[in-house]
Amino acid sequence: MDVRKALPPYRIKVVEPIPFLTAEERRRALADAGYNPFNLRADQITIDLLSDSGTGATSAAQEAAAALGDESYAGARSWFRFRDEVRDLTGYPRILPVHQGRAGERVLFGSLLKPGQICISNTHFDTTHANVLLAGAEPRDLPCNEAADLDSDEPFKGNIDLAALERTLAGPEGHRVGLVLMTITNNGLGAQPVSMANLAAVRELCRRHRVPFFLDAARFAENAWLVNQREAGYGTWTPRQIATRAFQLADGCVVSLKKDGLAAIGGFIGLRDDELHAACEANLIATEGFSTYGGLAGHDLERLTQGLREVVDPAYLRARAASTERLAELLDDVGVDTVRPAGIHALYLNAGRLLPHLSPREFPGHALGCQLFLDGGIRCAELGSLYLGEMDEHHRLLTPAPFELVRLAIPRRVYTDTHLEYVAAVLADIAKDPEQVSGYRIVSAPPLLRHFKVRLEPLPPAAGRSVASYG
Ligand code: F0G
């Protein structure tokens, strides 16, 4: 890594302490949490890589802007500043604020999808999947074939399978397709970007078959940066120009601003269609708030307006991408495979390969995530059979997930490269003696969005492992 190219364009002004528990305290904390990291308290965690959502650090300029927050119930100045910024970025004439992405999904799908319809995506995020189901429709993922090879360095493994999309649109189920939703970047599949060529081809197919085409653009700036770096013809475009072009290719978007909005809360729906806007607005007012605040405070809108300007800074995106890439290299050096090529907001560990002694029924991804907490106080999320596998009513695995992955999500502007070196060191020790990591079994689980509330217990031989001491 050339540090001259990876230098973050900011320095740190406000910090908060991070907790260091003893190995015994961590063991007890995880047992009390039902071996589900979502149930841990944040003050039990040394490095929190559970999510990059709402976990970033704000800038001095954002906090200064927040002081200007106008908290008027309707027509606040903060709303107009936010709306104009989003319009300018996306080109969509109709903007509705929401408090976070899934609220936007619920409002949009409630107006756009009819029961029995199909929503096609490169990959639905988990709440997106759930909101499609709650609208009575069927979510269907059509990732490109290249995505199935975790080790290949294909540049755009987030793409949709265009041939499969065309087959579905032109086939007997074509009339049931109510929406095509492209997730940029593809969070469910290794943080891989989607190319502009793929988006343009989706637009063409959707036009031809008269199906609405939307973006789930939670990481629009990071996708734009990877397009700038990897796609021929975009090397001279700014990330903001690329992002605007991507929005322009679609009929509308739903965006969680908890990621590339560089703030703790927020989101929006962008639309061209007046009728759809009117339907969404009515739903929004009934459930989120008036259409000039949508569940957000004026100070949130101000932080977001400034955040949207900062996030497309090429120096910021370059440094963030380099930091993630560096962690991937450190892990590669110690024999821990990650989904290639490295994306930006997260690295996905190939737990299935690191822990071949565990079958999918023993949830190797979950086991690795738990071990990262036990050994180093690191929290992360499983993306394997616990999250995606099909189970019977006794929580026995019927069909495993295609891969057993663990996501290390990297909050924006929060951890230094030293923090990430620590993560690599903890993983290096696990990789030295992977057979010591034992599997897990489900004790109880809810029917929808299982991974958030599932409780588990370790399978023997859990007792034998000697816990390394860090911190
Ligand atoms: N779409 C994508 C691609 C997401 O990654 C998320 C959230 C959402 C929609 C929902 O947005 O959280 O604001 O309601 N992803 C977070 C994550 C939670 O950890 O990946 P939200």
Confidence of residue 471 (pLDDT cuts 50, 70, 90): very low
Question: Does residue 259 carry a catalytic annotation?
Answer: yes
DSSP class of 57? P
Pairing mode of beta strands 346-350, 405-409: antiparallel
Considering only 62-71, 128-137, 249-258, 454-463, which range has the smallest mean pLDDT?
454-463
The per-residue pLDDT of the chain, averaged, comes to: 96
Question: Does residue 73 carry a catalytic annotation?
Answer: yes
Q: What is the pLDDT of residues 279-315, one digit of tens each?
A: 999 999 999 999 999 999 999 999 999 999 999 999 9
Distance CA 365, CA 372 (A): 11
- Average pLDDT of span 347-363: 97
Considering only 3-12, 169-178, 371-380, which range has the smallest mean pLDDT?
3-12
Distance CA 369, CA 355 (A): 12
Confidence of residue 470 (pLDDT cuts 50, 70, 90): very low
- Average pLDDT of span 76-94: 98
pLDDT of residue 451: 85
pLDDT of residue 2: 78
Confidence of residue 153 (pLDDT cuts 50, 70, 90): very high
Q: What is the pLDDT of residues 181-204, one digit of tens each?
A: 999 999 988 999 999 999 999 999
- Average pLDDT of span 363-367: 98
Confidence of residue 449 (pLDDT cuts 50, 70, 90): confident
pLDDT of residue 378: 98
Confidence of residue 95 (pLDDT cuts 50, 70, 90): very high
The residue to mutate among 48, 185, 256, 407, having the most atoms of ligand 1 within 8 angstroms of its beta carbon, is: 256
What spacing in Å lies between the alpha carbon of 125 and ligand 1's midpoint? 7
List 268's β-bridge partners, or say none. 97, 255
- Average pLDDT of span 393-406: 94
Residues with CB under 6 A from ligand 1: 51, 53, 100-102, 125, 127-128, 183, 187, 216, 218, 256, 258, 267, 409
- Protein residue with least CA distance to atom 19, ligand 1: 51
Q: Which of 52, 161, 216, 375 is catalytic?
A: 216
Percent of the chain's residues with pLDDT above 90: 93
Give domain 60-310's CATH number out of 3.40.50.10210, 3.60.21.10, 1.20.58.1290, 3.40.640.10.
3.40.640.10
Distance CA 420, CA 320 (A): 12
Confidence of residue 5 (pLDDT cuts 50, 70, 90): confident
pLDDT of residue 469: 41
CA–chain centroid gap for 100, Å, is: 13
* DSSP letter string, 286-336: HHT--TTTTT--HHHHHHHHHHHHHTT-HHHHHHHHHHHHHHHHHHHHTT-
What spacing in Å lies between the alpha carbon of 388 and ligand 1's midpoint? 16
Pairing mode of beta strands 397-399, 378-379: unpaired
Q: Do 3-52+313-464 and 60-310 have matching folds?
A: no
Instruction: Give just the sign of the alpha carbon dihedral 310, 311, 312, 318.
Output: positive
Q: Domain boundaries in the chain?
A: 3-52+313-464, 60-310
Q: Is the pLDDT of residue 464 over 90?
A: no
Q: Are 2 and 353 in contact (CB under 8 A)?
A: no
pLDDT of residue 301: 98
Question: Does residue 218 carry a catalytic annotation?
Answer: yes
Question: Does residue 157 carry a catalytic annotation?
Answer: no
pLDDT of residue 27: 98
Atom of ligand 1 nearest to the CA of 258: 13
Q: Are 244 and 209 in contact (CB under 8 A)?
A: no
Q: Which of 48, 70, 126, 161 is catalytic?
A: 126
- Protein residue with least CA distance to atom 10, ligand 1: 101
Percent of the chain's residues with pLDDT above 70: 98
Token digits of residue 125: 């995020």
What spacing in Å lies between the alpha carbon of 277 and ligand 1's midpoint? 22
- Average pLDDT of span 10-29: 97
Question: Does residue 43 carry a catalytic annotation?
Answer: no
The better pLDDT of the pair 465, 111 is held by 111
Pairing mode of beta strands 118-121, 177-183: parallel
The better pLDDT of the pair 462, 224 is held by 224
Q: How many residues does the chain have?
A: 471
pLDDT of residue 180: 98
Judged by phi (left if over 0) then psi (alpha if -120 to 50, else beta), residue 336 lies in: beta
The residue to mutate among 183, 220, 259, having the most atoms of ligand 1 within 8 angstroms of its beta carbon, is: 259
Atom of ligand 1 nearest to the CA of 265: 13
Second-level CATH architecture of 3-52+313-464: Alpha-Beta Complex (3.90)
What spacing in Å lies between the alpha carbon of 10 and ligand 1's midpoint? 26
